[in-house]
Amino acid sequence: NAGVTQTPKFRILKIGQSMTLQCTQDMNHNYMYWYRQDPGMGLKLIYYSVGAGITDKGEVPNGYNVSRSTTEDFPLRLELAAPSQTSVYFCASTSTGGLQYFGPGTRLLVL
């Protein structure tokens, strides 16, 4: 049972480049989330999904897009990378009313 997996683990982007952060869970959870964590800080919610085909904005959605075509996958897209998007990105999933499982994170550096 792999839980929540994220790829890549680390990436350096130039300003203006785009990329997709991948997230997959094998627990058949309906709810999935993307958080970002700036150095020494707590996590802030970017986007979330309550099921395939349904997504909604969190606290800090600007500069990001998501899609949820399957229960398992919840990719996060950065279209025009900016230095302010340098952060560690965590994907998480939970069943209704259950424990929230976090992936290992993707460290992104935008230069």
Partner 1 sequence: TQLLEQSPQFLSIQEGENLTVYCNSSSVFSSLQWYRQEPGEGPVLLVTVVTGGEVKKLKRLTFQFGDARKDSSLHITAAQPGDTGLYLCAVIQGAQKLVFGQGTRLTINP
State how far the Cα of 28 lies from the Cα of 103, in Å rounded to an integer. 15
Looking at the chain, how many residues does it have? 111
Find residue 76's DSSP bridge partners.
21, 66
Beta bridge partners of 44: 36
Q: What is the closest distance, in whole angstroms, from the C-beta atom of residue 88 to partner 1 in the complex?
A: 9
Instruction: Determine if 12 is a binding residue for partner 1 (CB under 8 A).
Output: no
Site string for partner 1, 27-66 (x = CB under 8 A): ----x-x-x----xxxxxx--x-x-----x-xx-------
Q: What tokens were used for 68? A: 């949820």
77-106 residues in contact with partner 1 (CB under 8 A) are 90, 92, 94, 96-100, 102-105
Tokens 């460290």, residue located = 107
How many other C-beta atoms are found inside a 10 Å radius of the C-beta of residue 80?
10
In the complex, minimum distance from the CB of residue 95 to partner 1, in angstroms, rounded to a whole number: 9
The distance of closest approach from Cβ of residue 31 to partner 1 in the complex, given in angstroms and rounded to an integer, is 5
User: CB 86 → partner 1: shortest distance, Å?
Assistant: 16
Cα 95 to Cα 60: distance, rounded to the nearest angstrom: 23
Residues lying near partner 1 in the complex (CB under 8 A): 4, 31, 33, 35, 40-45, 48, 50, 56, 58-59, 90, 92, 94, 96-100, 102-105
